[in-house]
Protein backbone atom coordinates (compact mmCIF):
# COMPACT_ATOMS: atom_id res chain seq x y z
CA UNK A 1 0.00 0.00 0.00
CA UNK A 2 2.77 2.47 0.97
CA UNK A 3 4.54 1.74 -2.36
CA UNK A 4 1.79 3.61 -4.16
CA UNK A 5 2.83 7.08 -5.42
CA UNK A 6 2.12 9.69 -2.76
CA UNK A 7 0.11 12.71 -3.87
CA UNK A 8 -0.22 16.20 -2.40
CA UNK A 9 -3.21 18.34 -3.33
CA UNK A 10 -2.83 22.13 -3.20
CA UNK A 11 -5.73 24.56 -2.77
CA UNK A 12 -7.39 21.97 -0.52
CA UNK A 13 -10.58 23.91 0.18
CA UNK A 14 -11.15 24.97 -3.44
CA UNK A 15 -13.71 23.51 -5.85
CA UNK A 16 -11.06 21.48 -7.65
CA UNK A 17 -9.00 20.87 -4.51
CA UNK A 18 -11.87 19.02 -2.83
CA UNK A 19 -12.70 17.09 -6.00
CA UNK A 20 -9.04 16.06 -6.34
CA UNK A 21 -8.85 14.93 -2.71
CA UNK A 22 -11.91 12.70 -3.20
CA UNK A 23 -10.47 11.31 -6.45
CA UNK A 24 -7.14 10.38 -4.86
CA UNK A 25 -8.85 8.85 -1.80
CA UNK A 26 -11.03 6.70 -4.09
CA UNK A 27 -8.08 5.56 -6.21
CA UNK A 28 -6.31 2.25 -5.63
CA UNK A 29 -3.28 3.52 -7.61
CA UNK A 30 -2.23 6.45 -5.41
CA UNK A 31 -2.21 7.51 -1.77
CA UNK A 32 -2.94 10.92 -0.29
CA UNK A 33 0.11 12.32 1.55
CA UNK A 34 -1.52 15.59 2.55
CA UNK A 35 -3.14 18.77 1.32
CA UNK A 36 -2.03 22.35 1.32
CA UNK A 37 -3.74 25.58 2.28
CA UNK A 38 -2.60 29.14 2.87
CA UNK A 39 -0.92 30.21 6.09
CA UNK A 40 -3.69 31.05 8.57
CA UNK A 41 -6.44 29.13 6.73
CA UNK A 42 -8.91 27.53 9.17
CA UNK A 43 -8.31 24.04 7.67
CA UNK A 44 -4.57 24.04 8.49
CA UNK A 45 -3.67 21.44 11.15
CA UNK A 46 -6.92 19.49 10.69
CA UNK A 47 -7.50 16.03 9.23
CA UNK A 48 -8.42 16.50 5.56
CA UNK A 49 -11.54 14.33 5.73
CA UNK A 50 -12.86 16.13 8.80
CA UNK A 51 -12.07 19.55 7.31
CA UNK A 52 -14.20 18.54 4.29
CA UNK A 53 -17.07 17.64 6.61
CA UNK A 54 -16.63 13.85 6.52
CA UNK A 55 -14.77 11.06 8.31
CA UNK A 56 -11.07 11.15 9.23
CA UNK A 57 -8.75 10.02 6.42
CA UNK A 58 -5.44 10.05 8.34
CA UNK A 59 -3.78 12.82 6.32
CA UNK A 60 -3.50 16.45 7.35
CA UNK A 61 -3.93 19.90 5.87
CA UNK A 62 -0.61 21.75 6.06
CA UNK A 63 0.66 25.25 5.30
CA UNK A 64 4.26 24.05 4.71
CA UNK A 65 4.61 23.20 1.01
CA UNK A 66 8.25 22.08 0.96
CA UNK A 67 7.91 19.68 3.91
CA UNK A 68 4.82 18.14 2.25
CA UNK A 69 6.27 17.98 -1.28
CA UNK A 70 9.43 16.27 0.05
CA UNK A 71 7.25 13.37 1.26
CA UNK A 72 5.37 13.02 -2.07
CA UNK A 73 5.94 11.74 -5.58
CA UNK A 74 3.51 14.20 -7.17
CA UNK A 75 1.81 17.52 -6.48
CA UNK A 76 -1.55 18.21 -8.13
CA UNK A 77 -2.12 21.93 -8.25
CA UNK A 78 -5.30 23.76 -9.26
CA UNK A 79 -4.93 27.12 -7.50
CA UNK A 80 -3.94 30.53 -8.91
CA UNK A 81 -0.95 31.67 -11.01
CA UNK A 82 1.07 33.27 -8.17
CA UNK A 83 0.68 30.19 -5.97
CA UNK A 84 1.48 27.77 -8.81
CA UNK A 85 4.71 29.58 -9.70
CA UNK A 86 5.84 29.30 -6.07
CA UNK A 87 4.84 25.61 -5.91
CA UNK A 88 6.68 24.91 -9.21
CA UNK A 89 9.99 26.00 -7.67
CA UNK A 90 9.36 23.96 -4.51
CA UNK A 91 8.20 20.84 -6.41
CA UNK A 92 11.40 21.09 -8.47
CA UNK A 93 13.43 21.28 -5.26
CA UNK A 94 11.64 18.19 -3.94
CA UNK A 95 11.89 16.46 -7.36
CA UNK A 96 8.14 15.77 -7.30
CA UNK A 97 6.04 15.62 -10.47
CA UNK A 98 4.05 18.85 -10.69
CA UNK A 99 0.65 18.56 -12.38
CA UNK A 100 -0.64 22.06 -13.10
CA UNK A 101 -4.31 22.66 -13.84
CA UNK A 102 -4.24 26.34 -12.89
CA UNK A 103 -5.12 28.79 -15.69
CA UNK A 104 -4.64 32.50 -16.34
CA UNK A 105 -0.82 32.63 -16.52
CA UNK A 106 1.13 35.61 -17.86
CA UNK A 107 4.27 35.15 -19.96
CA UNK A 108 6.42 35.85 -16.91
CA UNK A 109 4.66 33.10 -14.91
CA UNK A 110 5.24 30.66 -17.78
CA UNK A 111 8.94 31.52 -17.88
CA UNK A 112 9.25 30.63 -14.19
CA UNK A 113 7.41 27.34 -14.70
CA UNK A 114 9.72 26.52 -17.63
CA UNK A 115 12.73 27.16 -15.36
CA UNK A 116 11.36 24.76 -12.73
CA UNK A 117 10.81 22.13 -15.43
CA UNK A 118 14.57 21.90 -15.96
CA UNK A 119 14.64 20.01 -12.65
CA UNK A 120 11.24 18.32 -12.43
CA UNK A 121 8.50 16.76 -14.54
CA UNK A 122 5.75 19.31 -15.16
CA UNK A 123 2.46 18.37 -16.77
CA UNK A 124 0.41 21.48 -17.50
CA UNK A 125 -2.91 21.74 -19.32
CA UNK A 126 -5.74 24.26 -19.18
CA UNK A 127 -8.09 21.31 -19.37
CA UNK A 128 -7.35 17.79 -18.11
CA UNK A 129 -10.39 16.06 -19.64
CA UNK A 130 -10.04 13.49 -22.40
CA UNK A 131 -12.88 15.12 -24.33
CA UNK A 132 -11.33 18.60 -24.56
CA UNK A 133 -7.95 17.22 -25.56
CA UNK A 134 -9.65 15.26 -28.35
CA UNK A 135 -11.54 18.41 -29.32
CA UNK A 136 -8.20 20.20 -29.69
CA UNK A 137 -7.06 17.64 -32.26
CA UNK A 138 -10.36 17.94 -34.14
CA UNK A 139 -10.10 21.73 -34.08
CA UNK A 140 -6.61 21.60 -35.57
CA UNK A 141 -7.84 19.30 -38.38
CA UNK A 142 -10.93 21.33 -39.25
CA UNK A 143 -8.96 24.60 -39.18
CA UNK A 144 -6.39 23.08 -41.54
CA UNK A 145 -9.11 21.89 -43.91
CA UNK A 146 -10.99 25.21 -44.14
CA UNK A 147 -9.62 28.50 -45.44
CA UNK A 148 -10.20 32.02 -44.11
CA UNK A 149 -13.66 32.12 -45.72
CA UNK A 150 -14.61 30.43 -42.44
CA UNK A 151 -14.45 32.74 -39.42
CA UNK A 152 -13.26 30.94 -36.28
CA UNK A 153 -14.77 31.85 -32.92
CA UNK A 154 -14.11 30.10 -29.60
CA UNK A 155 -17.08 30.46 -27.27
CA UNK A 156 -16.78 29.49 -23.63
CA UNK A 157 -19.15 29.46 -20.66
CA UNK A 158 -18.26 29.03 -16.98
CA UNK A 159 -19.65 29.53 -13.47
CA UNK A 160 -19.88 32.96 -11.87
CA UNK A 161 -16.88 32.39 -9.54
CA UNK A 162 -14.33 32.02 -12.34
CA UNK A 163 -11.71 34.80 -12.20
CA UNK A 164 -9.84 34.48 -15.52
CA UNK A 165 -11.05 35.00 -19.10
CA UNK A 166 -10.95 33.66 -21.69
CA UNK A 167 -10.63 30.24 -20.07
CA UNK A 168 -7.41 28.25 -20.30
CA UNK A 169 -9.29 25.76 -22.46
CA UNK A 170 -10.47 28.48 -24.86
CA UNK A 171 -6.87 29.65 -25.27
CA UNK A 172 -5.75 26.05 -25.96
CA UNK A 173 -8.50 25.67 -28.56
CA UNK A 174 -7.55 29.01 -30.14
CA UNK A 175 -3.93 27.84 -30.31
CA UNK A 176 -5.02 24.57 -31.93
CA UNK A 177 -7.04 26.48 -34.54
CA UNK A 178 -4.13 28.83 -35.22
CA UNK A 179 -1.75 25.90 -35.58
CA UNK A 180 -4.15 24.23 -38.04
CA UNK A 181 -4.18 27.42 -40.05
CA UNK A 182 -0.41 27.83 -39.88
CA UNK A 183 -0.54 31.20 -38.08
CA UNK A 184 0.47 32.50 -34.63
CA UNK A 185 -2.49 33.01 -32.29
CA UNK A 186 -0.97 36.26 -30.98
CA UNK A 187 -1.16 37.71 -34.51
CA UNK A 188 -4.86 36.91 -35.09
CA UNK A 189 -6.45 36.82 -31.65
CA UNK A 190 -9.55 39.05 -31.24
CA UNK A 191 -10.50 39.10 -27.57
CA UNK A 192 -12.48 42.16 -26.59
CA UNK A 193 -15.32 43.67 -28.58
CA UNK A 194 -17.29 46.67 -27.40
CA UNK A 195 -18.76 49.68 -29.18
CA UNK A 196 -18.02 50.46 -32.83
CA UNK A 197 -15.56 47.66 -33.45
CA UNK A 198 -15.59 47.70 -37.24
CA UNK A 199 -16.28 44.59 -39.28
CA UNK A 200 -14.66 41.30 -38.36
CA UNK A 201 -11.12 41.05 -39.72
CA UNK A 202 -10.59 38.17 -42.13
CA UNK A 203 -8.46 35.46 -40.51
CA UNK A 204 -9.02 36.59 -36.93
CA UNK A 205 -9.73 34.00 -34.26
CA UNK A 206 -12.32 35.47 -31.90
CA UNK A 207 -13.11 34.68 -28.27
CA UNK A 208 -16.53 35.04 -26.64
CA UNK A 209 -16.99 34.62 -22.90
CA UNK A 210 -20.09 33.79 -20.84
CA UNK A 211 -20.13 33.74 -17.00
CA UNK A 212 -23.10 32.56 -14.97
CA UNK A 213 -24.52 30.29 -12.27
CA UNK A 214 -22.87 26.93 -11.74
CA UNK A 215 -21.81 26.13 -15.32
CA UNK A 216 -18.90 23.67 -14.96
CA UNK A 217 -17.30 24.41 -18.35
CA UNK A 218 -18.60 24.53 -21.93
CA UNK A 219 -16.58 25.20 -25.08
CA UNK A 220 -17.65 25.60 -28.70
CA UNK A 221 -15.34 26.12 -31.66
CA UNK A 222 -17.41 27.75 -34.38
CA UNK A 223 -16.38 27.81 -38.04
CA UNK A 224 -18.80 30.25 -39.66
CA UNK A 225 -18.86 30.39 -43.45
CA UNK A 226 -21.27 31.72 -46.05
CA UNK A 227 -24.43 29.63 -45.86
CA UNK A 228 -23.14 27.10 -43.29
CA UNK A 229 -21.61 26.72 -39.85
CA UNK A 230 -19.64 23.91 -38.25
CA UNK A 231 -19.64 23.73 -34.45
CA UNK A 232 -17.33 21.49 -32.41
CA UNK A 233 -18.57 21.31 -28.81
CA UNK A 234 -17.45 19.99 -25.43
CA UNK A 235 -19.60 20.15 -22.32
CA UNK A 236 -18.21 19.23 -18.90
CA UNK A 237 -21.06 18.45 -16.52
CA UNK A 238 -18.93 17.25 -13.59
CA UNK A 239 -15.50 18.41 -12.31
CA UNK A 240 -14.48 14.79 -11.75
CA UNK A 241 -13.39 14.62 -15.43
CA UNK A 242 -10.66 17.17 -14.68
CA UNK A 243 -9.62 15.45 -11.44
CA UNK A 244 -9.38 11.99 -13.04
CA UNK A 245 -7.26 13.43 -15.85
CA UNK A 246 -4.96 15.16 -13.35
CA UNK A 247 -4.42 11.98 -11.33
CA UNK A 248 -3.70 10.09 -14.55
CA UNK A 249 -1.09 12.75 -15.41
CA UNK A 250 0.53 12.43 -11.95
CA UNK A 251 0.88 8.65 -12.38
CA UNK A 252 2.05 8.96 -16.00
CA UNK A 253 4.76 11.41 -14.95
CA UNK A 254 6.39 9.02 -12.45
CA UNK A 255 8.86 7.55 -14.93
CA UNK A 256 9.42 10.67 -17.06
CA UNK A 257 12.47 12.89 -16.93
CA UNK A 258 12.46 16.63 -16.27
CA UNK A 259 10.60 18.75 -18.82
CA UNK A 260 7.23 20.22 -19.70
CA UNK A 261 4.45 17.93 -20.89
CA UNK A 262 0.73 18.30 -21.55
CA UNK A 263 -2.36 16.09 -21.61
CA UNK A 264 -1.81 15.25 -25.27
CA UNK A 265 1.42 13.56 -24.14
CA UNK A 266 -0.32 11.85 -21.23
CA UNK A 267 -3.23 10.58 -23.31
CA UNK A 268 -1.04 9.70 -26.30
CA UNK A 269 -3.31 11.60 -28.70
Beta-carbon contacts of residue 89 (< 8 Å; ≥ 6 apart): 112, 115, 116
Residue 209: what are its φ and ψ, rounded to 5°?
A: -125, 130
Backbone φ and ψ for 220, nearest 5 degrees, come out as: -115, 140
Query: 190: which residues sit within 8 A by CB, 6+ positions away?
Result: 200, 201, 204, 205, 206, 207
Is 147 an interacting residue with respect to ligand NDP (CB under 6 A)? no
Q: Residue 128, interface with ligand NDP (CB under 6 A)?
A: yes
Alpha-carbon span 36 to 79, nearest angstrom: 10
Q: Is 64 in the site for ligand NDP (CB under 6 A)?
A: no
Residue 82 beta carbon to ligand NDP: minimum distance, rounded to whole angstroms? 5
Told to judge if 219 belongs to the known catalytic residues of this protein, a careful annotator would answer: no
What's the number of CA atoms in the CB half-sphere (13 Å) around residue 192? 3
162 in catalytic set: yes
Cα 17 to Cα 78: distance, rounded to the nearest angstrom: 7
Task: Yes or no: say if 258 and 118 are a contact pair by the CB < 8 Å rule.
Answer: yes
Is 257 annotated as contributing to ligand binding?
A: no
Q: Compute the least distance from the CB of residue 151 to ligand NDP, in Å.
A: 27
Residue 162 binds ligand LZUJQKHR (CB under 6 A) = yes
Q: Looking at 9-17, 89-97, 112-120, 175-183, which segment touches ligand NDP (CB under 6 A)?
A: 9-17
Nearest to 162 by CA among 172, 170, 154: 170
Mask for 89-108, x = binds ligand LZUJQKHR (CB under 6 A): --------------x-----
Q: Is 211 in the site for ligand NDP (CB under 6 A)?
A: no
Residues across the chain: 269
d(CA 163, CA 29): 33
Residue 131 as a binder of ligand NDP (CB under 6 A): the answer is no
Q: Which of 4, 93, 104, 218 binds ligand NDP (CB under 6 A)?
A: 104
The strand pair at 217-224 and 151-158 is best described as antiparallel
With respect to ligand NDP, which residue has the nearer C-beta, 216 or 224?
A: 216
> Does 34 help bind ligand LZUJQKHR (rule: CB under 6 A)?
no
Q: Which of 18, 73, 121, 169 is in the footprint of ligand LZUJQKHR by CB under 6 A?
A: 169
14 marked as part of a ligand binding site: yes
Residue 13 binds what, of ligand LZUJQKHR, ligand NDP, none (CB under 5 to 8 Å, by partner type)?
Answer: ligand NDP
Closest to 62 in 3D by CA, of 47, 80, 77: 47
C-alpha distances in Å from residue 121, one per residue of 13, 43, 52, 115, 251: 25, 29, 30, 11, 11
Flag whether 12 is marked binding. yes
Question: For residues 10 and 169, which CB has a smaller minimum distance to ligand LZUJQKHR in the complex?
Answer: 169
Contacts with ligand LZUJQKHR by CB under 6 A lie at 103, 126-127, 158, 162, 167-169, 217
Contacts with ligand NDP by CB under 6 A lie at 11, 13-17, 38, 41, 78-80, 82-83, 101-104, 125-128, 168, 242
Residues designated catalytic: 158, 162
Annotated binding site: 11-16, 37-38, 101-103, 125-128, 159, 168-169
Amino acid sequence: MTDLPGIVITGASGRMGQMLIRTVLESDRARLVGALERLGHEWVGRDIGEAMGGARVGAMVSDDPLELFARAQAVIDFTAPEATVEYAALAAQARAVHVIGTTGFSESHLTKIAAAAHHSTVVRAGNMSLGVNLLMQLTKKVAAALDEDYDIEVIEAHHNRKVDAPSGTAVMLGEAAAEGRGVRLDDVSDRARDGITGARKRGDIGFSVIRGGDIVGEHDVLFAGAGERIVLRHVASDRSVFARGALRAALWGQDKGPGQYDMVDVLGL
